[in-house]
């Protein structure tokens, strides 16, 4: 039975803002509240202060939201919090690959977290951009994304805010079509 059928969901929010004032966490909380009301789902959520306290959730949650945050996603590779975050992601990956686990875990990586995940999964080269990407851009759904229940109801395109100094040249953004170039190649 899925959490939609149960009408309850457990959500872990991983705060990577390092104590910096921001609108991200407020918006994540508001979106969760609105979604729960709209779908009449009971939500139990907990927040984890990843960078300041190295707090990370266990695998008892249905959904994980890993926030954005300040700084360079490349220099933290050997920080305790980053190592622990990668170990947590490895636990989620092992859970989802285990054929005996029928209920998969969903993770939504926002900005800084997406860059960390790109580094973890080795999907591309995260590097400093030539200029800051900033604005609201259309995002087109890939064919595989159209099959994901978590994206059900999104229009194509849907729109998202882009505000970052780091990126992956394999995934160029509309503000910089060439992506960031690896200075060594």
Where is pLDDT greater, at 20 or 164? 20
Q: Which of 44, 58, 46 is nearest to 8 (CA)?
A: 44
Beta bridge partners of 135: 162
Q: Give 177-182's long-range contacts (Cβ < 8 A, gap of 24+).
A: 180/127, 180/128, 180/129, 180/130, 181/127, 181/130, 182/125, 182/127
Where is pLDDT greater, at 39 or 5? 39
Which pLDDT score, from 0 to 100, does residue 97 have? 96
Which pLDDT score, from 0 to 100, does residue 148 have? 82
Count of CB atoms situated within 10 Å of the CB of 145: 13
CB-CB contact of 92 with 101 (8 Å): no
Q: Which pLDDT tens digit goes with each residue over 164-177?
A: 777 766 554 444 44
CB-CB contact of 13 with 67 (8 Å): yes
Domain ranges (residues) in the chain: 3-123, 125-185
Inform me whether the pLDDT recorded for 16 exceeds 70: yes
Q: Which pLDDT tens digit goes with each residue over 154-167?
A: 888 988 877 777 77
Which pLDDT score, from 0 to 100, does residue 182 have? 33
CB-CB contact of 112 with 16 (8 Å): yes
Q: pTM for this one?
A: 0.80
Which pLDDT score, from 0 to 100, does residue 181 have? 39
Q: Which pLDDT tens digit goes with each residue over 113-123?
A: 999 999 999 88
Where is pLDDT greater, at 134 or 185? 134
Q: Which pLDDT tens digit goes with each residue over 34-83?
A: 999 998 999 999 999 999 999 999 999 999 999 999 988 889 999 999 99
The CATH class of the 3-123 domain is alpha beta
H helical segments located in the chain:
3-6, 24-39, 50-53, 80-97, 112-121, 143-146
Inform me whether the pLDDT recorded for 28 exceeds 70: yes
Q: Which of 130, 120, 121, 122 is nearest to 167 (CA)?
A: 130
Q: Which of 75, 21, 88, 9 is nearest to 48 (CA)?
A: 88
Which pLDDT score, from 0 to 100, does residue 7 have? 84
Q: Which pLDDT tens digit goes with each residue over 98-114?
A: 999 999 999 999 989 99
């Amino acid at each position: 039975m899925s959490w939609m059928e149960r009408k309850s969901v457990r959500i872990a929010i991983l705060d990577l803002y390092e104590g910096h004032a921001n609108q991200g966490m407020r918006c994540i909380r508001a979106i969760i509240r609105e979604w729960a009301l709209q779908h009449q789902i009971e939500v139990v959520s907990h927040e984890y202060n990843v960078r300041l306290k190295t707090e990370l959730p266990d695998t008892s949650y249905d959904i994980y939201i890993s926030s954005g945050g300040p700084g360079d996603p490349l220099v933290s590779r050997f920080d305790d919090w980053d190592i622990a975050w990668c170990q947590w992601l490895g636990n989620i990956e092992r859970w989802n690959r285990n054929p005996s686990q029928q209920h998969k875990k969903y993770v939504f990586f926002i900005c800084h977290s997406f860059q960390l995940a790109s580094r973890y999964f080795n999907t591309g080269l995260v590097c400093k951009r030539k200029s800051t990407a900033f604005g609201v851009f259309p995002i087109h759904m890939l064919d595989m994304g159209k099959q994901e229940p978590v994206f059900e109801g999104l229009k194509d395109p849907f729109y998202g805010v882009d505000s970052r100094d780091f990126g992956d040249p394999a995934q160029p953004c509309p503000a910089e079509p060439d992506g960031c170039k690896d200075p060594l190649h």
